[in-house]
Amino acid sequence: MQELGKMLVVIGVLIALMGGWLWSGKGFGWLGRMPGDISYENGDFRFYFPLATCVLVSVVLTLLGWFFRR
């Protein structure tokens, strides 16, 4: 049970560091602006759906989950 606790702390620290890095503006500038993302503007109305970004994040998280279960 201690190993699980240590792993959760490490994952939490890594997520916090990544969040701070992205929040600082030095993150992935291309993330959220990929070719498959849907963007529509008409006057004051703006609609944005990051479809390609969602697919990419889903694939990466699936691969990470598969890797750590092995």
Amino acid identity, residue 10? V
> Do 45 and 36 meet the contact criterion of CB atoms below 8 Å apart?
no
Q: Are the CB atoms for 41 and 56 separated by under 8 Å?
A: no
Residue 31 · residue 53 · CB < 8 Å: yes
**Residue (of 18, 3, 9) closest to 57 by Cα position:** 18
Q: Does pLDDT of 59 surpass 90?
A: yes
Which tens digits make up the pLDDT trace of 5-37? 888 888 888 889 888 877 776 666 666 677 888
- Please give the model's pTM, rounded to 2 decimal places: 0.55
